[in-house]
Amino acid sequence: MAGTLVRLEGVSRHYGPLRALDRVDLSIRAGEWLAVMGPSGSGKSTLVNLLGALDQPTAGRVVVDGVEITALPEAGRVRFRREKVGIIFQQFHLFPYLTALENVMVAQHYHSVADAGEARRALERVDLADRAQHLPSQLSGGEQQRVCVARALINQPKLILADEPTGNLDADNEDRVLRLLRELHAEGHTLVTVTHAPGIGNLADRRVELHHGRLADLTVHDEEIERRYDEVLVQVWALLEDGRLPEARRVKVPDVVDNERTLQGMEESGLVTRPGTTLELTGRGRERARDLVRRRRLAEVLFTSALHLPRAEVELAACRMEHIIDPEVTNSICGFLGHPRHCPHGRPIPVGDCCELPIIS
C-alpha cells in the first residue's frame, strides 16, 4: 500500500509456551500516530522492541520503510536503529557518566559526526539548554526523560517509538513531553506510542489494543472519531446560534489537542466546509448538529422537569455539552414532555417530526 511506513505480517513472539505476540498483522502509514494500548503483559513492549529491531520475532515479517528488518543480519539491524528509529523508553537508558549534552552526542555520533551545536539545539528544543552539562544523576526524572527525547530526535528518525513516554512523570513534564510528541507528529514523523493513559491515546490518529498478544478490533476508534465530530458540530451550532462566526480556532474538542485532524476528517466526511478560517456546516452537517442539539436539550428538559432535578444541578452549558437521549426514543420523549420549545436555559430546541407546527396567528 502506498504511504505505508511499517508493515507487520503474521508476527509472533513466543517465549516457550507463552505467546507475547501472536500472529499480528498491522500497517502504519507514513506520518501516522499510532497508540498501542492494552493491559500490562499484553505484549505492547514486545511489539515496540520488534519495531525497533531490538528483538527478533519467532515468526512473521516486519518491514519498515521498504526494508524487511527481520531479514537483516545483526549489523544491518544496528544500522537500521541508528538511522531510521528514535526510541524513547520509560527507563531512561542514559549513560550515567556522560552529561546531558554528551548523551545526546553519543546518539549523533553513531549516525554521523557528533556536532555539539546540533546536540545543544536538540536540548534547547526540550527546554534543557541550561542543564546541558549535568549528569543524569543531577537531573529529575522528567528532565532525564526529556534528554531521551532530545537523543531520539537528533538523527531526524522517520519512526519514533515511545514506550510509556510519560510513565513516571509529573503533570508538568508530562505536558512538555506530550507537546514534543505532538510537534514531531505535526512535522511528519511517524509515531508509535505505547501507553496505558487514554488521554494520550486520544491524541493519536489511531489506537489499537493488544490482549494476550493479539490485536483487538479497532471499532472504538471510529466511535471516538464520531464523538469528536459530534462535539465540533454542537459547538459550531452554538456559535451560529449566538450570532458568532464559527472560526476553526474557536472550536475545541475535549481531550484532543490536534483539532486540525478532526476538522480535516469532518471535511472529508462532508460535514463541514472551510472557506478561509471559518467552518460552515454542509446540509448533512447541519442536519446532524440539529439532531444532536435537539437530543441534548430534550435531555435537559427531562432532567429538570420530569425527573425534578434542581436547576442548580444542571450546569449552565449542559444543554450544549452534556447529556443526550437515544435517537430511537427522542420523539416519544419529546411527546412525553409536551414538545417543549426551549431547554431549561431558554435555548431553543430544534423541532422534530413529532412536533406540531407552530400556529401562526
Alpha carbon separation from 104 to 4, 48, 147, 153 (Å, rounded) = 29, 21, 7, 9
Judged by beta carbon, residue 42 or residue 166, the one nearer ligand ADP is: 42
Rule CB under 6 A: say whether 91 interacts with ligand ADP: no
Query: Which backbone phi and psi does 339 adopt, to 5 degrees?
Result: 50, 60
8 Å CB contact between 105 and 113: no
Placement of cell 526523560 in the chain? 145
Rule CB under 6 A: say whether 246 interacts with ligand ADP: no
Q: How far is the CB of 344 from ligand ADP (least distance, A)?
A: 46
Q: x-or-dash pattern for ligand ADP, window 320-359, by CB under 6 A?
A: ----------------------------------------
Residues 361 and 353: their CA atoms lie apart, in Å, by 21
Interaction residues for ligand ADP, span 30-59 (CB under 6 A) = 38, 40-46
Placement of cell 414532555 in the chain? 337
Rule CB under 6 A: say whether 165 interacts with ligand ADP: no
Interacting span for ligand ADP (CB under 6 A) from 14-22, 71-79, 104-112, 330-338: 14-22
Q: Would you call 343 helix, strand, or coil by DSSP?
A: coil
Judged by beta carbon, residue 6 or residue 128, the one nearer ligand ADP is: 6
Judged by beta carbon, residue 22 or residue 230, the one nearer ligand ADP is: 22
Rule CB under 6 A: say whether 145 interacts with ligand ADP: no
Judged by beta carbon, residue 19 or residue 79, the one nearer ligand ADP is: 19
Rule CB under 6 A: say whether 70 interacts with ligand ADP: no
Residue 15's Cβ-count burial label (10 Å; 0-12, 13-18, 19+) is exposed
Q: Which residues pair with 348 in a beta bridge?
A: 342
8 Å CB contact between 13 and 57: yes
Residues making contact with ligand ADP (CB under 6 A): 15, 18, 20, 38, 40-46
